[in-house]
Amino acid sequence: MYSTTLVQAVYYAPRGRRRLMHLGMLISQRYLRPEDRLIGIIGDAGAGKSLLARGMFPGLVLTNDDEGVNVRPLPILSDARDGFFANHMYHLDVRFEMAFTPLWELAEAVREGLTAGCRVVVEHFDLLYSMLGVNAECLVAVGEEVVVTKPTVFGPFPQELAEYAFESLIYRKMAHSAEDILSIVFQEMGYDPPTIHSDVRRGFVVEFSQKPDIDLDEVEKRIHEYIALDLPISYHDENHILIGEQQIYCSGPRLHMRRTSDIVNFRLDKELQYSPLSKTFLLVGRVGLE
């Protein structure tokens, strides 16, 4: 009998609820087996772990979601104490639950749930692994990119993925913040803000159906002026952020730097790239080191 082992699959981590949930659906379809019971999700606060989980497992009740709806008592912990697991699948946010329950008790509840044949989806799995002593059957790390792997006894191990996810998330935050400033600048210059978004490592891509007649040097200059103003960037609601006092539409309002001046080394590629397949013109913005 032969089996295949997924070493690693890497996706650009998209912005926005719909794109993240869609990616979660694809990950579930491509990499999860029906018999996989322990699923580990790793990443910092606001990286999009819960949205990926929603896409991977439609109908899953998140015990601590982005809207702050906290399910109490924690179902897997309550069922473990009762000795009867009423559900097929459970969710657990380790970082949140550690404020209320010892880590050893969370690990024991997960072990008992797995023994009972339940599937357990664990956010911040890296915090639980050392106490649990069992690696996940599917590990998903969310940073600048989304990394999917199916660990064996030889790894990869949660801490390896956690280090990458935590260190790289800042580039995604910088790129998203710069992209929203780009939308403001386009409007100030009398153009409609870009509505089609794509991805590139340490940056962003916006697409146009027709080549815009716009001075990209001036666009870059104005973006640098916004960055230098050191304006606060804050969440307003699920569809908007505030840059200073200006409210703008944003499909990923929780994933930004705190201030415009936190965006490091922003630059625009001064030549639009043409995609013959999609018949669109691509404008690329980049952040971080060259």
Residue corresponding to tokens 């990499």: 31
Pinpoint the residues of the chain covered by CATH 3.40.50.300.
Answer: 9-156
Q: How many CB atoms lie within 10 A of CB 41?
A: 27
- With 0-12 CB in 10 A as exposed, 13-18 as middle and 19+ as buried, what is 105? middle
Strands 145-149, 9-12: pairing kind: antiparallel
Pinpoint the residues of the chain covered by CATH 3.30.980.10.
Answer: 170-286
149-156 — which CB contacts under 8 Å span 24+ positions? 149/6, 149/7, 149/8, 149/9, 150/5, 150/6, 150/31, 152/5, 156/8
Q: 9-156: which CATH number, 3.40.50.300, 3.90.25.10, 3.40.50.10680, 3.40.50.11720?
A: 3.40.50.300
Residue among 96, 95, 92 nearest 109 (CA): 92
What pLDDT was estimated at residue 153?
86
CB 91 within 8 A of CB 62: yes
What pLDDT was estimated at residue 1?
44
Alpha-carbon 128 to chain mean position: 20
Reading the chain (290 residues) residue by residue, the pLDDT tens digits are 445 678 899 999 887 788 899 999 999 999 999 999 999 999 998 888 999 999 999 988 888 755 555 677 899 999 999 999 999 999 999 999 998 999 999 999 999 999 999 999 999 999 999 999 999 999 999 999 999 999 988 889 999 999 999 999 999 999 999 999 999 999 999 888 887 788 888 999 999 888 888 999 999 999 999 999 999 999 999 889 999 999 988 888 888 999 999 999 999 999 999 989 888 999 999 999 86
Whole-angstrom CA distances from 210 to 199, 281, 285 are 19, 7, 18
Residues in the chain: 290
Q: So what CATH class is 170-286?
A: alpha beta
| Local structure of 236: helix, strand or coil | strand
